[in-house]
A and B are shown apart, each in its own frame.
Chain A
């Protein structure tokens, strides 16, 4: 059993767009923020100017609970660049608030990854500005408690 660990050293650092400043401000303080439409209540992610569900331009930023399920994943054995030590596991996590995040799974063996696995966010800073969300198995789901 090899626990997947976050790859954070020497990797490319995201360049923030104006629409995303609030997202990265959130990750810096340990919050997973996303936009919600004030007209139709749909979540909107990645950050944008228009609700992708109803085309309203009235979007508000809110903080989510940082919990969700594994929707899809891959395990990479030949890295994009040598900075990414293999194996690592890019994944789509479907947040409980109803949107998808492209991230990577950590804190479990790659053979333990499964559809619907409950996961919770953890944050790792890679620069002064950028802190990345990763996801690991949700401890509250392990104990059988309803994850929230």
Chain B
């Protein structure tokens, strides 16, 4: 296996606060405090031993909890924030780092669409777009090119929603089970996406604890190691036409915007010396059902255009070769604003490798691929987790 500085970092704590459609009385700050205490308890460490904090509102949080000396606002949401924490450790600037994120009070106007999903750029703002419509423009191209069907999309949505249905901590726990026909019978939002093809919105928080791999033996759970991590982007989200074949000077290779994430996957496979065949569970970001089909192709789990067939043959189902998004993801587990649900993909990956999932545990899982982002947003971030320290 290749060596990489990320291999010197271990994830030793992972915690989700309560998640719900609304959490009356909670603020982002109160959820962040819950998340930090929860993650440190999960790691079995004293909060006082944390010497760096990466997240939302880090100055206030470090002041209240007496953490530091290092604090960082997230340089980017989700997986890149976890990498920020890893960088602090690999460079020796810190030893034990908490990544904390939360969302509450963001849904106050009760609009038909969440406020952060409405684009403001001058070239798109006047055409009634929102995230579902923008991802639909990408999904449509895949359907035109490869014959991908609404039934295939619905099968993804039913699979992930059923994972959330059985998860006691999910916002939509007990709200299923769903068949693909149930998904197709739900109201059309932005063709080809029905209501149940789309993510939900909710409130909640989460946090993780990272430390040096050589210090991870003293923590409460078996440490989970970062085998690789990388990002891929095709430009600013929600401000230009999200064309499948969008490229530009930064592309310079054979990857179209529709397969954003592929360049990150190539890097992660190189960092880790592994490939899709080594992966046991796929904790993929699921803003819309189509994204799972696309990401399976983008990351190399099947050839281009074969993702639709792959999701129909049981591959992503419980017990299948590559179970996906096993806590219910943004469709069912939670989607608290702009960051929490992204870190939660990695939290679920950690729980899978520890073998502590109360539901949908993948037996003997040793390698998990976690993703953030998607085609309509023109970015993907990846993190590959492993039980064995490389």
Contacts and interface: CB of A to CB of B under 8 A. Distances in A.
Partners in one complex: yes
A148 interface: no
Contact of A53 (B124, B129, B195, B248): B248
B126 A90 contact: no
A54 B311 CA distance: 40
Given A72-B141, A92-B243, A102 B189 contact: no
A140 to B, nearest CB: 24
Contact of B243 (A7, A16, A53, A71): A71
B307 interface: no
Given A74-B140, A81-B112, A53 B249 contact: yes
Given A71-B243, A102-B127, A104-B127, A76 B189 contact: yes
B358 interface: no
A96 to B, nearest CB: 15
A80 B188 contact: no
A113 to B, nearest CB: 10
B129 A102 contact: yes
Nearest to A91: B137
A92 B242 contact: yes
Contact of A46 (B123, B125, B190, B249): B123
Contact of B122 (A14, A53, A54): A14
Contact of B111 (A52, A77, A81): A81
Contacts of A14: 122-123, 125-126
Contacts, number: 113
Interface residues of A, number: 42
A13 B144 contact: no
Which DSSP category, helix, strand, loop or mixed, fits chain A's interface?
Answer: loop
B112 A20 contact: no
A57 interface: no
B241 interface: yes
A84 B128 CA distance: 6
Contacts of B138: 72
B188 A77 contact: yes
A74 B136 contact: yes
Contacts of A90: 127-129, 133, 137
A115 interface: yes
Nearest to B124: A102
A84 B133 CA distance: 13
B127 A78 contact: no
Contact of A73 (B123, B137, B188): B137
Interface string B126-166: 11111001001110110010000000000000000000000
A100 interface: yes
B278 interface: no
A146 interface: no
A75 B140 CA distance: 11
Given A81-B111, A101-B241, A102-B129, A72 B137 contact: yes
A108 to B, nearest CB: 15
Nearest to A52: B248
B246 interface: yes
Interface string B96-126: 0000000000000001110000101011111
B244 interface: yes
Given A76-B189, A79-B128, A81-B111, 16 more contacts: A46-B123, A46-B239, A52-B248, A71-B141, A72-B138, A74-B137, A74-B140, A77-B191, A80-B113, A80-B130, A81-B118, A102-B129, A103-B127, A104-B127, A104-B128, A126-B126
Interface of B: 111-113, 118, 120, 122-130, 133, 136-138, 140-141, 144, 187-192, 195, 239-244, 246, 248-249
The 10 A-B pairs of least Cβ separation, nearest first, read A14-B122, A74-B136, A84-B128, A102-B241, A100-B241, A52-B248, A75-B191, A92-B241, A77-B188, A72-B137
6 contacts: A53-B249, A72-B243, A72-B244, A78-B188, A81-B112, A94-B243
Interface of A: 7, 11-17, 20, 46, 51-55, 71-82, 84, 88, 90-92, 94, 100-104, 115, 126, 130, 132
